[in-house]
Chains A and B, each alone.
Chain A
């Protein structure tokens, strides 16, 4: 083959080769034109001016996010609900209205706002914003994170009882609470701090590897949104079934924000108080508390979730006293 090619090259006249090249070049523009990729410019479509007759291009729908005013309204409602919760529980000592507030909060913050924004998840945003200078955090998120903590510094966990949608859904399913042995209760209570540290560590990773654990494994948000991954709905259902017999298991053992609130509550000025009565040391309140927050007839403020069950079951206070229950001495 090689030898044949060499022979052929040597025998070609230069003139004819040049002519052939020229001929090819004369076709080049046509070839180039064919190589242009087909593209249909937008101008071929009829535009308002070519259509005429006063035709106007309809606006592209661009629905705006929730208005800033309404976002602020959420913060105002959060603060307001905490205020009402404090007033109802500490001042009025009224469980009925406290339950009404819980239902209202569940309806608004849970089912209407679909569980977002909540201070539990805000932990992560605040952690990221404090470590990453490029991260933007809306003012609403900052306020949602800070407000319940400030309230806890003075009055305890009013947020848990009156406002939190995750707490509310568990509060309403408490059916026959068993008392958890104190040592087990304390040990399980440490889980929430492990969860808190883990959530913060995963959130403050570099932007691409970031994971928002608390939001991803929120067990109840699927109910609030009426949709969700089957395994998360199952987990939420599991928590609710467990919650019938163990009062608010997520709040007491897993909620990372509950951990922060418990720390702040240790400094609280006021909180739910149990006043032992000289003549009536009945201890009905201890039995009524599903959260193990009454220890030797004293309220443990850091564990108190503002449900006012203790007041409701007290013969000298709350609903029973208002109903003028007659105490009889059995002899």
Chain B
């Protein structure tokens, strides 16, 4: 070195080395010991909208209103394997509305028109009440208001529609704003790999 290192520079170098070692060591420790990805998810067993026994005209809308992203990251999802494929689906129709000439309720339930259906197999146009339908929820339209979730359960439905966090929309807040206000504490952070397993294999959070 052409120039002698001043005492101040030397001190700086030593302290900088110490800070670097601390940062590096800390980072290495975190990556080795605590590395993992967690996501927020709704526990259907706790959610007011899908829990049996909680019935009412009004669904809990906190998932829609409390989420920090513009259109809530919580959306209704139809578990097709559980769906009854009913012709008069209480989550698709507003079953208290007037009956039209085909014998079906005249109004839809979804305020955003996110649920569509198509007949399964041979559909009889003359007798729509005896067909089976496949119900698809358009997750781009759904805002997770929970109206359909509230209706799709005993005694009329099978509870196939549940509220679920969409991981691509969720910004994964440290403390989910919905969980902060959820009356039943139904939102929990679970490891990602666990969340991607089907819900029936998921351990219950009690």
B30: nearest chain-A partner, CB-CB: A142
Q: Tell whether B27 is near chain A: CB-to-CB under 8 Å.
A: yes
CB distance from B139 to the nearest CB of A (A): 6
Contact assessment for B174 and A60 in the assembled complex, using a CB-CB cutoff below 8 Å: no
Using a CB-CB cutoff of 8 Å, which residues 48-89 of chain B contact chain A?
Answer: 68-70, 77-86
Q: Tell whether A212 is near chain B: CB-to-CB under 8 Å.
A: yes
Contact assessment for B192 and A65 in the assembled complex, using a CB-CB cutoff below 8 Å: yes
Q: Tell whether B184 is near chain A: CB-to-CB under 8 Å.
A: no
Stretch of B18-26, B90-98, B99-107 lying at the A interface: B18-26
Using a CB-CB cutoff of 8 Å, which residues 111-156 of chain A contact chain B?
Answer: 114, 116, 121, 124-126, 129-130, 133, 135-139, 142-143, 145-146, 149-150, 153-154
Using a CB-CB cutoff of 8 Å, which residues 207-264 of chain A contact chain B?
Answer: 210-212, 215-216, 221, 225-228, 264
CB distance from B84 to the nearest CB of A (A): 4
Contact assessment for B120 and A51 in the assembled complex, using a CB-CB cutoff below 8 Å: yes
Interface-central residue, A40, A143, A211, by most chain B CB under 10 Å: A40
Report which of B68, B84, B154, B174 forms a contact with A212, defined as CB distance below 8 A.
B174
Stretch of A13-21, A41-49, A291-299 lying at the B interface: A41-49
Contact assessment for A65 and B172 in the assembled complex, using a CB-CB cutoff below 8 Å: yes
CB neighbours (8 Å) of A137 from chain B are 30, 34-36
CB distance from A159 to the nearest CB of B (A): 14
Contact assessment for B20 and A61 in the assembled complex, using a CB-CB cutoff below 8 Å: no
Q: Tell whether A182 is near chain B: CB-to-CB under 8 Å.
A: no
Chain B contact residues: helix, strand, loop or mixed? loop
Q: Tell whether A29 is near chain B: CB-to-CB under 8 Å.
A: no
Alpha-carbon separation in the docked complex, A143 to B35 (Å)? 11
CB distance from A72 to the nearest CB of B (A): 13
Interface residues of A, CB < 8 Å — how many?
57
Alpha-carbon separation in the docked complex, A116 to B171 (Å)? 7
A136: nearest chain-B partner, CB-CB: B36
Report which of B38, B78, B85, B167 forms a contact with A136, defined as CB distance below 8 A.
B38
CB neighbours (8 Å) of B169 from chain A are 63
0 or 1 for each of B1-40: is its CB under 8 Å from A? (1 = yes): 0000000000010011001100110110111011111110
Contact status of A215 and B16, CB under 8 A, knowing A64-B168, A227-B69: no
Report which of B15, B19, B35 forms a contact with A138, defined as CB distance below 8 A.
B35
CB neighbours (8 Å) of B80 from chain A are 57-60
Report which of A125, A126, A136, A269 forms a contact with B191, defined as CB distance below 8 A.
A136
Contact assessment for B79 and A45 in the assembled complex, using a CB-CB cutoff below 8 Å: no
CB neighbours (8 Å) of B29 from chain A are 130
CB neighbours (8 Å) of A146 from chain B are 23-24, 26-27
Contact status of A53 and B121, CB under 8 A, knowing A129-B30, A210-B175: yes
Contact status of A40 and B84, CB under 8 A, knowing A65-B192, A126-B30, A130-B30: yes
Contact assessment for B81 and A57 in the assembled complex, using a CB-CB cutoff below 8 Å: yes
Alpha-carbon separation in the docked complex, A146 to B21 (Å)? 12
Contact assessment for A139 and B84 in the assembled complex, using a CB-CB cutoff below 8 Å: no
Q: Tell whether A322 is near chain B: CB-to-CB under 8 Å.
A: no
Interface residues of B, CB < 8 Å — how many?
55
Report which of A62, A64, A150, A226 forms a contact with B70, defined as CB distance below 8 A.
A226
Report which of A114, A139, A211 forms a contact with B35, defined as CB distance below 8 A.
A139
Q: Tell whether A55 is near chain B: CB-to-CB under 8 Å.
A: yes
Contact assessment for A228 and B170 in the assembled complex, using a CB-CB cutoff below 8 Å: no
Contact assessment for B16 and A136 in the assembled complex, using a CB-CB cutoff below 8 Å: no
Q: Tell whether B129 is near chain A: CB-to-CB under 8 Å.
A: no
CB neighbours (8 Å) of A40 from chain B are 84, 154, 158
Contact assessment for A121 and B174 in the assembled complex, using a CB-CB cutoff below 8 Å: yes
Contact assessment for A55 and B120 in the assembled complex, using a CB-CB cutoff below 8 Å: yes
B174: nearest chain-A partner, CB-CB: A212
CB neighbours (8 Å) of B16 from chain A are 153-154, 267, 269
Interface-central residue, A44, A60, A130, A138, by most chain B CB under 10 Å: A60
B14: nearest chain-A partner, CB-CB: A267
CB neighbours (8 Å) of A154 from chain B are 16
B19: nearest chain-A partner, CB-CB: A153
Alpha-carbon separation in the docked complex, A124 to B82 (Å)? 41
CB distance from B16 to the nearest CB of A (A): 4
Q: Tell whether A91 is near chain B: CB-to-CB under 8 Å.
A: no
**Can you list 8 A-B pairs with a CB-CB distance of less than 8 A?**
A44-B84, A53-B122, A114-B171, A116-B171, A135-B34, A149-B23, A228-B68, A267-B12
Q: Footprint of A on B, CB under 8 Å?
A: 12, 15-16, 19-20, 23-24, 26-27, 29-31, 33-39, 68-70, 77-86, 120-122, 132, 134, 136, 139, 154-155, 158, 166-175, 191-192, 196
Going nearest first, the 10 A-B pairs with the smallest beta carbon separation are A136-B36, A65-B167, A212-B174, A45-B84, A63-B168, A267-B16, A227-B70, A129-B34, A57-B80, A142-B30
17 new A-B pairs (CB below 8 Å) besides A52-B121, A129-B30, A145-B27?
Answer: A38-B155, A42-B84, A42-B158, A45-B86, A60-B77, A60-B79, A65-B192, A114-B171, A124-B174, A126-B30, A142-B31, A146-B24, A150-B20, A221-B68, A226-B70, A267-B19, A269-B12
